[in-house]
């Protein structure tokens, strides 16, 4: 796999959370990608998907050999993931601010179906600049979407930051929240498996120096 | 007298009651028409981007979402969500608007959406219905609710006196030799009056479904005339279907006149829909003048 210098930092910021999710948290494997009871992971922050593809390859969703030719004409792997081209990718993403509203919908759909499945969506702190996220943050708690977890990768990319902290933005709308070190696998696992009876936001902090 | 909106509400509520796939997503407008206690009925507040995003998620989870609002808030404001959350995710949904181009212009430009069908034309895979009568709404919606594809239904306060069969391409309502007039949805009655007032020897086709475009129906109608002259009268942005007429008739020399809501100026007048029809030459007088000049000789 060749590099994507522009979004290298995005990939480096998400790799630990993605690994813990697919290794220990999500109830989804290549064999059950169409099972209505599977957990759904939505990579809203579609930038820098090299980490995502690497984890999907390691877990058998995609053939590792496809990594070498990514972004080429015949490759299913682009700079932004496409769910139609890659089995196991739940949403096509790239334009910021779309995943969280969609995740509210998939979580409601799982609830309507009486499914055990949960929805996890990963957004970036810079992505939260998009107003559509804040529509969805407000709606999720009003609609009591308890099977939804939003993971915010906070690598200090937001242009003007989030005074008071990102978790507070979710908390005032009624979300349960947690803040963790996004490099600490044990902390990530503990946070992502914590019980919650309302929508849940886990802010995974990534220090730029590390 | 049932309105198109009432026919829509009834069809969707029947769907909710009988089909566990049917879901409804609204952003306040019309939300009180649907059973809010039903878990498949979701009102997101005044949040149109999330309205479409949630509908996408419901579709990804196997439901058949109906998404509804006033036309500019359903189509224009969340256009990128329609493009990406519905189209690019390759899921289906039924979008139903009210308000049309300027159903109630007293509310001003913010509540007018003459460009909605043109916007859907930038996206592949959408069926677009423009019914001209409430009795056409029900069968169109019933079919849309059964399917899995992407459907836009454009409702209006303005309607024709009679309903016509829907779902089978263009309907021929009048035969002539001088050319063809294609009337879309609520434009039909005015087109017929204009043609009759001008004593024009033209074929009149009626379309309640404009996408897919019934190219075969238009081509056959043109073949049965002596002149490949086609006038398209649409209740939204003029020229929206021109490219499809040209594509349909590309093998023969032809003339096309596109009539609809004019593009050249942003009207800041309030008034009535009839006032706006007159300003856009979409009243019987304006259409008669267009018929007279285009089919001259």
Determine, yes or no, domain membership for B159: no
Determine, yes or no, domain membership for B164: no
Asked if residue B179 and residue B136 are part of one domain, the reply reads no
- Give the gap in angstroms from C-alpha A90 to the nearest C-alpha of chain B: 8
Residue-range definition of the domain harbouring residue B256: 171-294
> CATH no. for residue B176?
3.40.50.920
3-state secondary structure of A37: coil
Across residues A152-160, what is the average pLDDT? 94
Determine, yes or no, domain membership for B235: yes
**For residue A1, pLDDT beyond 60:** no
Asked if residue B139 and residue B13 are part of one domain, the reply reads yes
Nearest by CB to residue A105, choosing from B53, B88, B90, is B53
Interface residue of A86, A102, A111, A150 to substitute, partner B, most B CBs within 10 Å: A102
How many domains is chain B partitioned into structurally?
2
Residues of B within an 8 Å Cβ radius of A: 23, 25, 39-40, 42, 44-45, 47, 49-50, 52-63, 65, 80-81, 84-85, 88-90
Asked if residue B175 and residue B130 are part of one domain, the reply reads no
Report yes or no: A149 at the B interface, CB cutoff 8 Å.
Answer: no
Beta strand B150-154 with B93-98 is: parallel
Closest chain A residue to B64, measured at CA: A109
Note the pTM of the prediction, 2 decimals: 0.97
Across residues A50-55, what is the average pLDDT? 96
Asked if residue B242 and residue B110 are part of one domain, the reply reads no
Asked if residue B200 and residue B143 are part of one domain, the reply reads no
- Which pLDDT score is estimated for A208? 76
Asked if residue B181 and residue B100 are part of one domain, the reply reads no
Q: Which domains does chain A have, with CATH numbers?
A: 9-46+94-205 (3.40.50.970)
d(CA A125, CA B243) in angstroms, rounded, equals 44
Three-state SS letters, B67-115: EEEEHHHHHHCCHHHHHHHHHHCCCCEEEEEECCCCCCHHHCHHHCCCC
- Structure tokens of A69? 């030719």
- Which pLDDT score is estimated for B180? 98
**For residue A106, pLDDT beyond 80:** yes
Asked if residue B71 and residue B44 are part of one domain, the reply reads yes
Chain B contacts in chain A segment 83-102 (CB below 8 A): 83-84, 90-92, 95, 97-98, 100-102
Closest CA to B284 of B222, B158, B194: B194
Asked if residue B182 and residue B146 are part of one domain, the reply reads no
Which residues in A lie closer than 8 A to residue B59 (C-beta atoms)? Answer: 105
Asked if residue B79 and residue B14 are part of one domain, the reply reads yes
- The answer to whether the beta carbons of residues B49 and A95 sit under 8 Å apart is no
In tens digits, chain B (297 residues) has pLDDT values of 899 999 999 999 999 999 999 999 999 999 999 999 999 999 999 999 999 999 999 999 999 999 999 999 999 999 999 999 999 999 999 999 999 999 999 999 999 999 999 999 999 999 999 999 999 999 999 999 999 999 999 999 999 999 999 988 999 999 999 999 999 999 999 999 999 999 999 999 999 999 999 999 999 999 999 999 999 999 999 999 999 999 999 999 999 999 999 998 789 999 999 999 999 999 999 999 999 999 986
User: Which of B154, B188, B220 corresponds to the end of one domain?
Assistant: B154
Closest CA to A113 of B12, B39, B53, B15: B39
């Amino acid at each position: 796999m060749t590099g994507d210098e522009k979004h290298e930092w995005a990939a480096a910021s998400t790799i630990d959370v993605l690994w813990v999710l697919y290794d220990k948290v999500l109830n989804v494997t290549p064999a059950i990608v169409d099972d209505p009871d599977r957990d759904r992971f939505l990579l809203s922050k579609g930038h820098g998907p090299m980490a995502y593809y690497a984890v999907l390859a390691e877990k058998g969703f995609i053939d590792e050999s496809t990594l070498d030719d990514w972004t080429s004409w015949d490759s299913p792997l682009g700079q932004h993931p496409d769910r139609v081209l890659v089995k196991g990718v739940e949403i096509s993403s790239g334009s910021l601010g779309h995943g969280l509203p969609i995740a509210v919908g998939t979580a409601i759909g799982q609830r309507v179906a009486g499914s055990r499945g949960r929805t996890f969506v990963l957004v970036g702190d810079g992505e939260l600049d998009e107003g559509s996220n804040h529509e969805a943050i407000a709606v999720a708690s009003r609609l009591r979407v308890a099977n939804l977890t939003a993971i915010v990768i906070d690598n200090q990319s937001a242009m003007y930051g989030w005074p008071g902290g990102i978790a507070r933005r979710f908390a005032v709308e009624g979300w349960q929240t947690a803040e963790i070190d996004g490099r600490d696998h044990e902390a990530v696992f503990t946070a992502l498996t914590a019980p919650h009876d309302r929508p849940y936001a886990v802010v995974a902090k990534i220090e730029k120096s590390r | 007298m049932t309105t198109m909106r009432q026919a829509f509400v009834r069809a969707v509520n029947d769907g909710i009651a009988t089909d566990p796939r049917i879901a409804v997503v609204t952003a306040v407008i019309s939300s009180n028409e649907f059973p809010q206690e039903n878990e498949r009925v979701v009102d997101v507040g005044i949040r149109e981007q999330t309205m479409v995003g949630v509908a996408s998620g419901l579709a990804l989870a196997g439901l058949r979402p109906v998404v509804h609002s006033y036309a500019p808030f359903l189509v224009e404001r969340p256009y990128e969500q329609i493009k990406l959350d519905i189209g690019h995710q390759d899921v289906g949904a039924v979008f139903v608007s009210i308000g049309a181009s300027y159903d109630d212009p007293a509310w001003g430009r913010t509540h007018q959406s003459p460009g909605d069908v043109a916007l859907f034309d930038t996206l592949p895979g959408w069926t677009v219905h423009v019914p001209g009568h409430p009795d056409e709404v029900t069968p169109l919606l019933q079919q849309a609710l059964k399917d899995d594809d992407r459907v836009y239904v454009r409702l209006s306060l303005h309607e024709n006196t009679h309903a016509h069969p829907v779902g089978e391409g263009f309907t021929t309502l009048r035969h002539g030799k001088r050319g063809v007039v294609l009337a879309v949805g609520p434009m039909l009655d005015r087109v017929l009056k204009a043609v009759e007032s001008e004593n024009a020897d033209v074929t009149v086709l009626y379309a309640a479904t404009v996408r897919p475009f019934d190219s075969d129906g238009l081509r056959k109608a043109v073949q049965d005339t002596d002149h490949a002259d086609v006038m398209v009268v649409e209740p939204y942005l003029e020229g929206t279907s021109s490219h499809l007429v040209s594509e349909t008739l590309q093998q023969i020399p032809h003339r096309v006149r596109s009539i609809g809501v004019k593009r050249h100026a942003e009207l800041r007048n309030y008034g009535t829909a009839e006032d706006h029809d007159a300003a856009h030459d979409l009243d019987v007088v304006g259409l008669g003048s267009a018929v007279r000049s285009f089919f001259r000789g």
